[in-house]
Amino acid sequence: AQKITQTQPGMFVQEKEAVTLDCTYDTSDQSYGLFWYKQPSSGEMIFLIYQGSYDEQNATEGRYSLNFQKARKSANLVISASQLGDSAMYFCAMREGPGSQGNLIFGKGTKLSVKP
């Protein structure tokens, strides 16, 4: 079974609108971390946001927020006020185990296109 599932291969959003990128995960660990990365056409993986499994509040970083629904095992990324520069691939990832143990497991990604 896939550990990280991103069901949206591609998404379109109008500039200045908000968009939600879906991510569900599968783990039996109690301690894990969830990550979102942005990969523009240049190829660089840019760290956006992190949510720990024990964090009670949803993580936020500027225009990015992570909608963490633990019972549903979902960790959707919400981008508010989309900008043209947000057009990129977005990867959800998970690290299982406590602290910094374990490797990152990536989803297949969602290609976001922001329309002017």
Partner 1 sequence: GAVVSQHPSWVICKSGTSVKIECRSLDFQATTMFWYRQFPKQSLMLMATSNEGSKATYEQGVEKDKFLINHASLTLSTLTVTSAHPEDSSFYICSARGTYEQYFGPGTRLTVT
Residue from 90, 109, 112, 114 in contact with partner 1 (CB under 8 A): 109
Residue from 12, 44, 70, 80 in contact with partner 1 (CB under 8 A): 44
Least CB distance to partner 1 at residue 107 (A)? 7
Residue from 19, 21, 27, 35 in contact with partner 1 (CB under 8 A): 35
Q: How many CA atoms lie within 13 A of 111 on its CB side?
A: 4
Q: Pick the piece of the chain touching partner 1 (CB under 8 A) from 11-19, 21-29, 31-39, 71-79.
A: 31-39
Neighbouring CB atoms inside 10 A of 53's CB total: 19
Pick the closest to residue 80 from 99, 55, 63 (CA basis). Answer: 63
Q: Pick the piece of the chain touching partner 1 (CB under 8 A) from 13-21, 23-31, 67-75, 97-105.
A: 97-105
Task: Give CA–CA dist 116/109, Å, rounded.
Answer: 22
User: What is the maximum span of the chain, computed from C-alpha positions, in angstroms?
Assistant: 42
Q: Binding of partner 1 at residue 11 (CB under 8 A)?
A: no
Q: Are 68 and 79 in contact (CB under 8 A)?
A: no
Q: Binding of partner 1 at residue 64 (CB under 8 A)?
A: no
Q: Are 36 and 93 in contact (CB under 8 A)?
A: yes
Q: Which residues form the interface with partner 1 (CB under 8 A)?
A: 33, 35, 37, 42-47, 50, 52, 91, 95, 99-100, 103-104, 106-109
